[in-house]
Structure formats: C-alpha cells, structure tokens
Amino acid sequence: MRETERGSASRPALSRLISCSPQRFADEFWGDRPLVSTQTQLEQDFSDLFGLEAVDELVADRALRTPFVRMAKEGVVLPPAAFTSGGGYGAEIADQLDPEKVLSAFADGSTLVLQGLHRTWPALADFTRQLNADLGFPCQVNAYVTPASSRGFDPHYDVHDVFVIQIYGEKAWTIHEPVYPDPLSSQPWSQRSSAVAAQAQGAPYLEHTFAPGDVLYLPRGWIHSATALGDTSIHLTIGIAPHTRYEIVAQALERMKTDATLRKSLPMPLATGTTPEAEDRTSLIERTLAHVASQLGDEEFVQAVSDRFGEAGAVDIVPQPAPVRPLARIAAAAQLNNGSMVAWRSGLHAELGVGDGSVRIVLASKSVSLPIEARDAVEALHRGASCPADGLPGLDAASSLVVARRLIREAVLVVV
C-alpha cells in the first residue's frame, strides 16, 4: 500500500517515481541509498512516456545520428559502423541509424541505447522538464533496449544519480555498495575498474527483478548491472546531475582569480626551492588561507558565488526549456490581439538587470533589452504571471502589444 501522502501536486513528476512522500525521499534516500518502488505501490504505469512502438519509430523513422544512439554487447561498445550508415540520395550523412544493421546486431545479442530522449521524444521532454523543476537539478533520459537473456554493460557505477523505469519485459538487477562514494563527473568507474569488479564478486546489497512499472532510485557511485529475462527488455534511465559542495568551492576558487593578492608570485626562496625555514613556509600558508577565509566571509563575495551557483551555471548540463517552434512563433506574434494571454516560456532561466534606461533579460545565449518602462511587465512575467497581451503591468495597450510581440519573437514568452 502506498503512503497516503505520496502524491504531491507541487512535485508531480517526482511523485510518479517514488513509493514514499517527497519529504521522506529527500530525508532518507536522496544521495544515500537505493529505493525500489513497485508498480503495485505506485498504482500506475509509464505507457504514456515510452514503449515498444516508440523504439521502432525512433529507429525506423527519425534518422537518429550518433551520439543519440549507441550499441553494446557484454560490456563492449560497438563501433558506429556496426549500426549506422548513410541515408541514401539526398541524405548521405554516414552516421545515421540503420534499421537493418540494428536488427542484425540486436538479434546477435547487442543492447540498443537511445540517448538524449529528453531532446528527441516529446513525452519524455515534457516529463524531464517537470522532474528537473521538482528536483532542482538538471535531468536527462536514455533508453536501454536489451535482447532476451543479455547483459549490455559490465558492473559499473555512474557519476550521476539515476531513476530507472522498467517499461517492457523483465530485467534482473544486481546492486553493490560503492567502492568510491559520491564520485564527481571527473571520477568515472573506469578509474577504479579493478575495485569495482572485485566488489561485484561479493554479496550484493540488493537483487531485484524489475517488471513493467517498477522504478529504482540509485545514488551515484552504487555499482550495478542488469540482465534481461525471457524476452526483450526496455528500461529508461533518468540521469540527474546534482550540485555538490565541491562545486561551491570550485566556483569560489574561480572567483578568487580576480584577487591580486593571490595572483602574486611566491617569495623567491619558496619559488626556487632554497632552504626557507619550515615555520616561514607554514606561516605563508596560514596567512594565505586566512586571507581566503576573510574573502569568502565577505557578504558581497558570498552572494556573487551564490548567484553563479544558481540554476544556470553550476554544472555543464543545463536543463532545456520548453521547445521553440519558429514558424508557430512568427504566426503567434503576427496574430497577437487584445484577447490574447501571454506567459513566460516554461523552464526558461533568465537574470534580469536594470540600467542605462533599460531593463535587460539575460539569457544563456543572448541578452534582450527593453525600455525601462517595461520593467514592471518583465518582472511580473518572470515571476510566473499570465497577462493580457494588451494589458502588461505598467504599459498602455499599444506598448503592451509591442513588448509582447517582441518577447514572443525572442522566444521569451508564449501565448497561453
């Protein structure tokens, strides 16, 4: 029986994946230990997100290219030529997925990995954006399609947390405790392959056969492998890139590059290796660390690091906002009228700035400037308000429509 508080209107995607409340998940499982949630506990399936037909459509009809797809057999990744080719006249690009080669490799026991489905499959794109909002960290999705009684990859660990959703067939998972807890992205399992292999020979922490609708949460660093049972198996892996305390330190050090005191060369004896007294060397280290500590404690410095550590820049994987359909946007801007409602584009992160008689919307790839009179309107929309296109806060009807059309063309606003 699922917990009565499991469902959460404020975290709808996360609540679909866990058999406990979001608060209990955060307190007891997140970043600490695995959680298995069965289809019976979740009282739902995931057929709205993905399935057999989705795999065949992506393979046969979407002309996917590497690196959106790869294949592997018993832990060995196949060369792209084994499952890709050119698309024929007018589409000669050589690394397109070849359905006939995929069929041959799959029948021979190779696992098909469809990568980046949060970019190529609409239902998963929508779900991933919501999960990112629920968790506060960037997410991405891969699908693993494994032939009967086959294992695609040897025991290994990931450098990101994952949710695994069994979509089709059954898969037996074996999970061992970490040999290196909480690895960073620069610390992959291949650096500790011998230790991982030895750990995988011992008694597992968890063994479970996943049926359709079952979900596994696995923190980074936990060793795992999986084998399909009896029939083709499909599971989704949702990778989550959590922020870490190490990133706070790294961002602080990046900011420290502007400190002239720290950029100054060390005294000559230390630089040349000539015999400084040990206490002199220790004193220099202590004075330097004290200087760093004083800078880190400065309120302005802490705020600057905090701002940079926010949504946009703490990790390389930036969550994708709602997709842009260029032709539809041009038409929407042209057809905007007094009855239209507009709102901020879902998932679009921006910083707002004011100065030089303008309000600026600073996006990842550009900055949009508007007259200062539009400040109230921009701030209201950025906070999540839906507004009449001819009634943006602080603007008359004509100016409001001009601003709304501009921000639709700039992919900032959408018509509700």
| Residue 3: predicted pLDDT | 52
| Residue 154: predicted pLDDT | 85
Q: What is d(CA 141, CA 401) in angstroms, rounded to the nearest whole number?
A: 38
Q: What is d(CA 71, CA 69) in angstroms, rounded to the nearest whole number?
A: 7
| Residue 286: predicted pLDDT | 87
Residue 332 CA to its chain's centroid (Å)? 30
Low-confidence ranges of the chain (pLDDT < 70): 1-10, 152, 269-279, 304-320
- Domain 326-415: give its CATH code: 3.90.930.40
| Residue 21: predicted pLDDT | 94
| Residue 272: predicted pLDDT | 55
Domain positions in the chain: 12-51+96-240, 326-415
Q: What is d(CA 220, CA 233) in angstroms, rounded to the nearest whole number?
A: 23
> Residue 294 to residues 54, 123, 307: CA-CA distances in angstroms?
56, 49, 19
pLDDT tens, residue by residue, 20-64: 999 999 999 999 999 999 999 999 999 999 999 999 999 999 999
Q: What's the pTM value of the predicted model, to 2 decimals?
A: 0.81
Q: Tokens at residue 163, please? A: 């949710």
Q: What is d(CA 362, CA 312) in angstroms, rounded to the nearest whole number?
A: 11
| Residue 311: predicted pLDDT | 46
Q: Which CATH number fits domain 12-51+96-240: 3.30.70.3270, 1.10.10.10, 3.90.1640.10, 2.60.120.650?
A: 2.60.120.650
